[in-house]
Chains A and B, each alone.
Chain A
Amino acid sequence: GQNIDQPTEMTATEGAIVQINCTYQTSGFNGLFWYQQHAGEAPTFLSYNVLDGLEEKGRFSSFLSRSKGYSYLLLKELQMKDSASYLCAFLNDYKLSFGAGTTVTVRA
């Protein structure tokens, strides 16, 4: 079967760093995505990892370990506008499976 887990909620202070973990189990794997979704809006693409290691994109970085079925999204220098839900998703052939999302609240 397929399963994907991430924490439900996280809170952090403006300017801080937050790490959102994601673990997954799947019979086939073609990559892992992170999406951001602000309340009431559509998800938007943040990152994609298919090989092990860290991908850095400005204030956001994403890490993948395929052998451990593990990924994380690192948000640095948090800003108020980063308050959103962060969705982890893995690709298996042509199907994309999402986790339930992690709601990050940034406090001043």
Chain B
Amino acid sequence: NAGVMQNPRHLVRRRGQEARLRCSPMKGHSHVYWYRQLPEEGLKFMVYLQKENIIDESGMPKERFSAEFPKEGPSILRIQQVVRGDSAAYFCASHHPTVQETQYFGPGTRLLVL
């Protein structure tokens, strides 16, 4: 049973470009969370999604950031017009619908904005 997959593992973008980060949850998991880890800091919650539904986006910046989890395919975290302050590690976690308390994390995508 493969774990949570994230790609790309490393992403370099210039200011103003778009960044798309993908997350494939563990098999059977229909709940996905995105977290951001700034350098030398802990993880901060961004958004919680179920298939085709955003449950909690209280941690998402109001502008430039969006997330989706379509019926088919991976969850996508999209950052438009990236700025240097977006440089961070972005982690995805998933959990089983009937085992809500335990989240399993992917390896993360490290975004560097030049």
Are A and B subunits of one complex?
no
Interface residues of A, Cβ cutoff 8 Å to B: none
